[in-house]
């Protein structure tokens, strides 16, 4: 079942998506790894400082490695 925090927040994996050019502040239709964002829970997390991770540290173990590679290369 996983730990309680993951169950309550329903976080199975943390993905990243480029911004939707037609709707500033919203993600595009696909994540960087190609998954549909339509049913994903959105988190408006912003890195607190330059060089910080793009994802909330509490979800480090759930980060999609493909999304992370794309963002690390950019």
* pLDDT (0 to 100) of residue 66: 97
- HSE on the CB side for 64, CA within 13 Å? 16
* pLDDT (0 to 100) of residue 34: 97
Query: Which tens digits make up the pLDDT trace of 2-34?
Result: 344 444 467 889 999 999 999 988 999 999 999
* pLDDT (0 to 100) of residue 42: 87
Q: Which runs of consecutive H residues, i.e. helices, occur in the chain?
A: 4-9, 65-73
Query: Which tens digits make up the pLDDT trace of 49-65?
Result: 998 999 999 999 999 99
Domain span at 38:
4-73
C-alpha span between 1 and 46 (Å, rounded):
29
- How many domains does the chain divide into? 1
């Amino acid at each position: 079942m996983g730990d309680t925090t993951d169950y309550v927040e329903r976080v199975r994996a943390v993905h990243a998506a480029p911004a939707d050019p037609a709707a500033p502040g919203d993600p595009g239709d696909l994540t960087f790894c190609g998954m549909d964002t339509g049913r994903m829970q959105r988190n408006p997390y912003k890195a607190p400082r330059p060089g910080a991770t793009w994802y909330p540290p509490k979800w480090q173990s759930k980060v999609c490695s493909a999304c992370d590679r794309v963002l690390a290369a950019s």
